[in-house]
Every structure is written in C-alpha cells, then in structure tokens.
Structure 1
Amino acid sequence: MKSKKRTTIYDIAEKLNIAPSSVSRALNNSSYVKESTKKLILQTAEELNYKMNSLASNLRKGQSKTIGVIVPRINQNFFANVIAGIEDASYKQGYNLIICQSNELYEKEVQCVNTLINQNVDCIVISISVETINYQHLKNILDHHIELIQFDRVADELETLKVINDTLQASYEAVNHLINQGYKRIALLEGPQSLNIFRQRKEGYLQALKKHNIPIIDELMLENAWTKELGAQATRQLLSLPNPPDAIFASTSDFSALGVLEVATAMNIKVPSQLGICGYSNEDFTEITSPSITTIDQFSVDMGKTIANLYFEEMNNSNVSATPKTISIKPKLITRSSTQRSAE
C-alpha cells in the first residue's frame, strides 16, 4: 500500500491561507510572529501530523548534528564499546551517529569516508584499517573542514585530535607479569607492523625482556597473528620448535589468544603450568574460557565518551591551538587463571 504523503509547511500554509515563510518562522519559534498566529500554526501542524525536518533545519544553521564513526569491525567488543561511549555522550548533546565498518579493508575505508563527507557530518571519528598506509582520504576530511578525531589506531603524521591508549606500557606490564610468574621463553604474536599500536606493543615486549636480561629470540616473534585462526596457526608453529615457548603474549587481540588456548587444549598442554597465555582487549569471552584468559582492559566505553567530549570541547573552544590535542588513556592488566602459576 502506498504511504501517505509527508506533511510540509506548504500544506499548513495552504490550510491557514498564510505565507509558508510565516509557518517556517513560527515553527522555529521566531519572535517576528505574533503569539496568537504562532499558536494557531502549531495547533494546525499537530493536527496535520507535521514532523520537523531536523536535518534540513540543521543544515541551514551550518551543521548536521551528526558524527560519523568508522571502525575496522563493529562486532569486536572494544570497538562496539567505543561506539557505545560516543553515542552516550553525543546523545546528551543532541547529536546522532552514522556508523560504518571498513572490515579491515583500505578501499572500503575510503568509501566510508567519502560517504560520510557526502552526508555533511560535522565530525568523523576513525580507527584505521590494517591495510591503511595512504592517508589522502583522511586529509580530504580536513580539506572539507570536517573535524577529524583518530583513536586507537592512528596515523601519527597527521596532526588531528587523537584519543589513544598507552599500549607500550600495557604490553610492558603484561610481559613483566609473565616473567614474574616464572616464564622464561615468552613468544610474541604481533599485529601488522604498519599500524602504530602494534609497533608500540612490540616495543613494550622488548623493553620488558631487556629489563630482565632475557634474550630476544627472533623465532619467538611472529607477525600478523591477529585473528583466532592466525593465532592458532602461529601457536602450532611455535609449539613445534625444538625449544618451544613456555608463554605466549597475544599482543594483537583476545581472539588471537583464544586461538592459542584452543591449540594448547587440543595438544593436551596444561595452561598455565606448561604454557602461559595473555591476550589484549578484555573481550567478554576471556572471563568464561577454561582457564580464564589474562588480558588488558582498554576502558573502551570511557574512550568513546572521551572522544565525543573532546569534539564538543573543541567545538566550543575559541582558542584553537597550533597542535591538536592528544589524550592518552592508561589501560589495565587483568590477571586471570591462564598466567597465574603462583595460584596453582
């Protein structure tokens, strides 16, 4: 069945035999319209089920009251929680979100950016994909005078607002914890080194080994093991070594750590006595695996709120600094059964 035509200001004007401009002014609470006329127009609008076109109204004011968010994957707990935090803070300011996911693909990320630019969003928030090494599409956002906020995975060379985690320190603390639990051959599952967060996590790992005078062994460091399947594949490779590791730090994600745990279970390797496992991100499932997985909480909801509030703060700030602000949030190591040898 064909839907009824949407009521416009012209329908109200026609019914009352007045100018459409008068209806528009009344609906926007203009002082140039008499109170009696305004009351009549509002009453008629309600009778005709008129709905204000807030998008058109906001665009006339030079804003859309919309924030675009681009994440690599919506179904990861970390990114889902960041979005929830952004939405919570934005809703209180009368803003809406448009959410896109790149699926870790550069071309799709570029497409998402172009879509959001064409939607006239006021701000674009992005965590870049693993494939992203060219940043022209991000520069294009700035060329359109749209606020750009990078978070978590950022392009360091672009001077924009940024909200990040101190991932180097978090990784250092995770490896330090493993060493304190008596592990001596600690392997590292790395993410793509094109991304700054994975470079920093590797640096934290290396610093912890150096502090304790533990040799750095190349064959214990495997790159691009950032999904459950790749984590499992890397674990099989590591455990087949003549001298295998006694702990694996999946610095890429908890999904990678889950792949480690599944392989260890299939090979009847006892966790944590024979193999320690530490992940990253504090995904929901890490609490309910057997054993539960030690991980790093990034305070993702708080990060989302910080991102949104940073935008509103900058929007109301008349003193624009030469160097855009970077906010760093300190993650927290969550120790669980998968590394707690001392609790056995």
Structure 2
Amino acid sequence: MKAKKRVTIYDIAKKLNVTPSSVSRALNNSSYVNETTKKLILKTAEEMNYKRNTLASNLRRGQSKTIGVVVPRINQNFFANVIAGIEEITYKKGYNIIICQSGESYEKEVQSVNTLINQHVDCIVISISVDTEDYKHLQNVIDHQIQLIQFDRVAEELETLKVINDNEQASFEAVSHMISQGYRRIALLEGPQTLNIFRQRKNGYLQALAKHQMPVIDELIAQNAWTKELGATATRQLLSLSNPPDAIFASTSDFSALGVLEVANSMNFKVPQELGICGYSNENFSEITSPSITTIDQFSVYMGKTIANLFFQESENLQVETIPKVISIKPKLIARSSTEKNQQ
C-alpha cells in the first residue's frame, strides 16, 4: 500500500488560494493574519490532517530541541535507567531524545554519532563501546559545535562534560566488605583495561588488598571476563585451581557475577560459605537470585537526570568559553546473601 504524501503548508495555501507565508503565520498564531483568515486556515489544516514539521521549525530557530544518546546496550538495567533519567528531564523542557545502540561495536558507534550529527541534534550523550580506542568521531561532534557529554565509560583525554561514577572507591569498599566477612583469597574478574571504568575498578581492588595487607596473587586475576559467558569460563578455571579462591569480585557487571553463581552451583561450591560473590551495577535480577547477589548501585536514574540538567545548565550559560566539568557520583555497596559469610 502506497504511503500517503505528507500535507505541507503549500498544499493548504493552494487549496485556499492564499500565500504559503500566510499559512505559516496563521499556524504560528501571528497577529499579522486577520482572525477570519486564521480560523479558516487552522480549520483547513485540521481537515487535511496537517502535521507540523517540528524539527524543521526548531532548526529555523537555531536548535533541534533533540538530544542523541548512544549506549553500548539498551537492555542493560544501568543504561536503560540512565536513559529514563535523561528523558524525565528533557520531556519537561520540551526536548526529544534519539536513542542509538552501539552493541559494543566501534564501527556502529561511529555510524550512530555521524547519524546524530546529520540530524542536527543539540547534544550527544555517549558511553563508549568496549572496542572504542580512537576518538576522532567524538572530536567531530565538538568540531560541529554540538554539545558532547560523556558518561560512565569515557575518553578521559577529551575535554568534554563528563558524568562518572567513583568506581575506584566503590570497588575498594566491595573488596573491603568481603575481607571483613572473612574471605582471604579474593579473585577479580576484570574487564578490558582500555576502558576507564575497568581500570578504576581494578585499582580499587588492589588498594583494598594493600590496605588490609593481603598479597596480590596473579593467578586470581582473570582478564577480560566482562560478560556472563566469559565470567563463567574464568570462574571454571579459578575454581579448578589447586588452591581456589574463596571469593570472586565480578567487577565488570552483575551479568558476570551471575555466570560465577551458575558455575559455583554446578561445581557444588556453597555460596556464601565456601565462595563469596560480589557483582557490579545492581541489575534487577541480582536481588532475586538464590542467594541474592551483593552488588554496587550506581544510581543510574540520578546519573541520567544529572546529565540532562548539566546540558541545560551549559546551554543557558551565556559565556562563550566554559571550563569542562566532571561530575562524579558516589555508588553504594548493597550487601546481600552472596557475601554474608558471617551471618551463616
């Protein structure tokens, strides 16, 4: 079935035998059109099912009233909540958001950013993919004088607005909590060290061991164990050691922590008595597993609201040059059954 052609102001003008500028003025409630003509134009526009081209109208005013958001995964609770927080604020301000998913692909991320630039968005909000090591596409955003706000996973060398978590402190508290519960051989599932968040979380782990005068054991650090499948594979190897860990900090996500729990159950390790487990990001399922998984809440909805408010604060600032801002949000450790060894 052929799609119906969109009705334009020229179609209305032709039907009423008036100028397109008269139609435009009437639709914008201008006083330069007499009331009788204005009412006739508005009535005809409604009858012809005319829909205003909001984007074109906004662009004529020098803005699109649209914000683009690029995230690695839309179906992860953290990113979904950040988007919800952004939308809650932008909706009140009459802005729309366009959501793009990179799928952890650098090429798809670049394509998404270029699409948003071509859409003339007022701002691009991005959390970079695990594959992203070249930032030319982000510099391109800046060169187009589009506001760029990075969050969570950021290119630290680019001077842009950033909203981040204190990952180092959160990891320090998580590992310290496990030590306080009596765990002594704590393994780390780390993510790709190209990403700032995984470097920071590893640093927090190392700092906690040093603070409590515990040795760093190389065989207990599993590299690139940042998905459920990779976390499960790493856990199988760790628990097969002659001297296996008695706790695992899945610093990458609750998904990798879930992989740890499934393998521990299949290998008959009792959680938390024989193996403590801590994840990261407070995914919805972490509270309903058996046992429930200790995790770290990143206050993702609040992060989204902070991002949106930062954009509006900056866009309303009349100064030509502003100092780049970095806002750090302190996450919260949520201790649950998977690490409560002393409660058993």
- Give the TM-score, by structure 1 length: 0.97
Q: Are residue 90 (structure 1) and residue 98 (structure 2) matched?
A: no
Identify the residue that residue 265 of structure 1 maps to in structure 2: 265
Could you tell me which residue of structure 2 aligns to residue 314 of structure 1?
314
**Structure 1 position 320, deviation (Å):** 4.8
Shift of 1:25: 1.4
Aligned to 2:154: 154
**2:164 aligned partner:** 164
Spell out, residue by residue over 1:246-289, the C-alpha distance to the aligned partner (whole angstroms, 9 max, x if none): 10000000010011101100011000010000000000110111
| Residue of structure 1 in register with 2:253 after alignment | 253
Q: What is the match of residue 295 of structure 2?
A: 295
What is the distance in 1 between the residues matched to 2:58 and 2:301?
28
Take 2:312 and 2:139, find their aligned partners in 1: how far apart are those partners? 21
Equivalent residues in 2 for 1:1-344 (5 A)? 1-344=1-344
The alpha-carbon deviation at position 308 of structure 1 amounts to 1.1
- Whether the 8 Å contact between 1:159 and 1:323 is mirrored in structure 2 is no
Give unpaired runs (5+ residues) of structure 2.
Answer: none
Give % identity: 78
After superposing on structure 2, the runs of 4+ consecutive aligned residues of structure 1 that deviate more than 6 Å are none
Q: Which residue identity does 1:228 align to in structure 2?
A: K
Q: Which amino acid aligns with 2:126?
A: I
Residues 55-82 of structure 1 deviation map (CA, whole Å, 9 limit, x = unaligned):
1111111211111111111111111111
Deviation track 1:75-118 (CA, whole Å, cap 9, x = no partner) reads 11111111111111111111111111111111111111111111
**C-alpha distance 219-314 of structure 1, shift in aligned 2 (>3 A):** same
Q: How far does residue 32 in structure 1 lie from its aligned partner after superposition?
A: 2.2
Partner Cα distance (1:255, 1:104) in 2: 15
Give the total of aligned pairs: 344
TM-score (normalizing by structure 2): 0.97
Root mean square deviation of aligned Cα? 1.2
Q: Which residue identity lines up with residue 226 of structure 1 in the other structure? A: W
Matched residues in 2 for 1:223 and 1:49: separation? 58
Match of 1:248, SS? strand
Mapped partners of 2:257, 2:37: distance in 1: 67
User: Could you say what secondary structure the match of 1:156 adopts?
Assistant: coil
Structure 1 pair 322–17 and aligned structure 2 pair: CA distance change class (3 A)? closer
2:131 alignment partner AA: E
How many Å separate the matches in 2 of 1:94 and 1:145?
21
For 1:180-231, what per-residue CA distance to the aligned partner results, in whole angstroms no more than 9, with x for missing partners?
A: 0000111110010011111100111111111110111111111100001100
User: Which amino acid letter does the alignment assign opposite residue 162 of structure 1?
Assistant: K
CA distance in 2, matches of 1:119, 1:201: 36
**Alignment partners' CA distance in 2, 1:180 and 1:61:** 59
Deviates more, 1:227-236 or 1:5-14: 5-14
* Residue-by-residue CA offset, 1:94-147 (whole Å, 9 max, x unaligned): 111111111111111111111111111111110001111111110001111111
Tell me the secondary structure at the aligned position of residue 342 of structure 1. Answer: helix
Secondary structure at the counterpart of residue 292 of structure 1: coil
Deviation at 1:321, TM superposition (A): 4.8
Contact 1:67 1:95 in 2 (8 A): yes
Shifted more, 40-49 versus 289-298: the winner is 40-49
Any idea what the Cα deviations from partners look like across 1:28-75, whole Å, max 9, x if unmatched? 222322333322322222222211111111111121111111111111
